[in-house]
Amino acid sequence: MSKGIVYLVGAGPGDYKLITVKGLECIEKADVIVYDRLADERLLAYAKADVELIYVGKAASDHTMCQEEINRLLVTKGQQGKTVVRLKGGDPFVFGRGGEEALELFTAGVPFEVVPGITSAVAVPAYAGIPVTHRGIAASFTVVTGHEDHDKSKSSICWDKLALGADTLVFLMGVENLPKITAKLITNGRSSDTPAGIISWGTKPEQEVLVTTLGQAAEDAARQSVKPPAIFIVGEVVTLRDKLAWFDNKLLSGKTVLVTRARQQASLLTAALEAMGARCIEAPAIRIVPPDSYICLDEAVTNLSLYDWLIFTSVNGVEYFFARLHVVGGDSRALAGVKVAAIGIQTAAKLREFGVIADVVPAEFRAEGIIRALEDKIRPGMRVLIPRAGVARDVLPEKLAELGAVVEVVEAYRTAVGEADGQVIGEQLAAGKIDLVTFTSSSTVTNMLTLLGHDAVKFLSKAMVAAIGPITAETCLNNGIHPNIIAEEFTIAGLVKAIGDFYIPGRG
């Protein structure tokens, strides 16, 4: 059997978008990914469908797998001829024990490569508005482990030289040893008045920054219950945060948002909200699933020439329609001679991916709007096909029938209750840990009520509620939920804008 190869990949400091291009390429081709708790799991979405995922996360005093076992695992998988990615938070060679893993692979004769990652030692202070060097303030910096057992008889850290040997000191993972670290530095000559900062969950939406002094750091961290992962930075550069803080000054910084869209569609909304500084919890209230039978849809796509109009009400309808069209041996050419309407610019954009430009995209992105856009185009006797969800509002087919059209509605897909954990969400809402709940359809509202159970309305009253448009808002109101935000443009972009406008300082 040919030998495989192991890539020791740095996942970066926390924000999954800080992965390197080469690191992402390795993830995409991996047969096996061995990952730890500081590597954002969203990176795993780039892996192959049949990839083997092995979690070996290690937290203080809680090791899923010890380092020696991880070393043996990498060797074994490499010897099996696998392409292996060892995905590590930060950089593999900066207190990541990547050197130990590489030596084990070398000894076993397994080929390996190191893919450096952006180290938290530099990136986390940068996200907190603290440069580790700055002209006229700091010309040097030192990165130190915060994990060392300071009670052992002989320290590997030369505290007498370290305390005054660099302008900026950065301790990684040192929160639990903070009293000992600060005492050692002060004892060896560093002033207790030296500015210091503690940054937890750096580069992620839940990032928190505590500005203090060397003398007060341990007491302040204990008072505010700072937990790892966190870094401790000491030096005059900390004072620059007053002017250079940028990440935690975003519009939604400090806000936790519940995203209830189907998992495969949540990423767009999540990404937009995270760009505004929000921490997003994806809790899919709906799942998009195939219909019980494709018989009606297949018959319709096989006989498209019989229809005058084809109306798509969602992106999902487009995707399922064309999937079945391809199954029966057709493609977009089968729509020749058929007029196409799309409710929503996102639906129209999805059609363009299949080479179809909608003839009508109403200015108002709901059924009532498309009726106004079509009323001078639909003539009595015209046949209209609407591939859509199994359960949906009847307004559109009813109004089209009033115009004299012969309307055929076929089930292209179904929506089912999502896999979100209603009990956990309810507890978070009750505890005030969620600031905003987003609803992107009536289904997300009704299904979330099902997931939350009999106290659903009470739980949801603890947070702000944002609805993608008036139909979704009406569903909220009909169920005793009062939306605080209603998007004027019934799209994800419109919802994000409405949320941003609501939280403009002085409003939300």
**Distances in whole angstroms, Cα of residue 137 to Cα of each of 55, 126, 131, 236, 243:** 42, 16, 10, 7, 15
Active site residue 276: no
pLDDT at 38 > cutoff 80 = no
DSSP string, 155-185: -SS-HHHHHHH-SEEEEES-STTHHHHHHHH
Residues 232 and 264 in one domain: no
Residue 329, domain member (yes or no): yes
Q: Domain range for residue 35?
A: 5-117
117, 138, 172: which is the final residue of a domain?
Answer: 117
How confident is the model at residue 41, as a pLDDT?
A: 82
Residue 448 appears among annotated catalytic residues: no
Return the pLDDT at 464: 97
Based on the domain organization, do 80 and 228 belong to the same domain? no
Which residue in the list 88, 167, 173, 448 is annotated as catalytic?
A: 173
Residue 488 lies in a domain: yes
Phi, psi of 363 (to 5 degrees): -65, -30
| 508 in any annotated domain | no
Confidence of residue 43 (pLDDT cuts 50, 70, 90): very high
Q: Are residues 108 and 175 in the same domain?
A: no
How many residues can be counted in the chain?
508
Report the sign of the C-alpha dihedral through residues 375, 377, 378, 383, in that order: negative
Q: Are residues 154 and 224 in the same domain?
A: yes
Q: Is 31 a residue of the active site?
A: no
Q: Are residues 457 and 349 in the same domain?
A: no
Mean pLDDT of all residues in the chain?
91
Rg (the chain; Cα; Å): 28
Output the six-digit token pair for 399: 């109004």
pLDDT in tens, 1-21: 567 999 999 999 999 999 999
Whether 366 is in a domain gets the answer yes
Mark whether 191 and 300 lie in a shared domain: no
Query: Pick the catalytic residue: 3, 58, 180, 433?
Result: 58
Final residue before a domain boundary, out of 400, 416, 432:
416
Name the strands in the sheet holding 279-282, side by side, starting at the edge strand that comes first in the sequence: 279-282, 256-259, 436-439, 464-467, 485-486
Residue 272 sits in the same domain as residue 303: no
pLDDT higher than threshold 60 for residue 79: yes
- State pLDDT tens for residues 313-334: 889 999 999 999 999 999 999 9
241 and 138 inside one domain: yes
User: Is residue 126 located within the same domain as residue 244?
Assistant: yes
Report the run of H or E that residue 271 belongs to, with start and end.
helix 263-275
Residue scoring higher pLDDT (262 or 498): 498
Instruction: Count up the domains in the chain and report the number.
Output: 4
Q: Is there a single domain that holds both residue 243 and residue 128? A: yes
User: Distance between CA 279 and CA 252 in Å, rounded?
Assistant: 8
Amino acid at 469: G
245 and 138 in a single domain? The answer is yes
The beta-strand segments (E) located in 240-399 are 256-259, 279-282, 286-289, 309-312, 339-342, 383-389
Pairing of strands 195-200, 406-417: unpaired
Contact 339, 370 (CB under 8 A): no
Q: Is residue 507 part of a domain?
A: no
> Tell me: the pLDDT tens digits for 416-452?
888 889 999 999 999 999 999 999 989 899 999 999 9
Q: Do 307 and 409 fall into the same domain?
A: yes
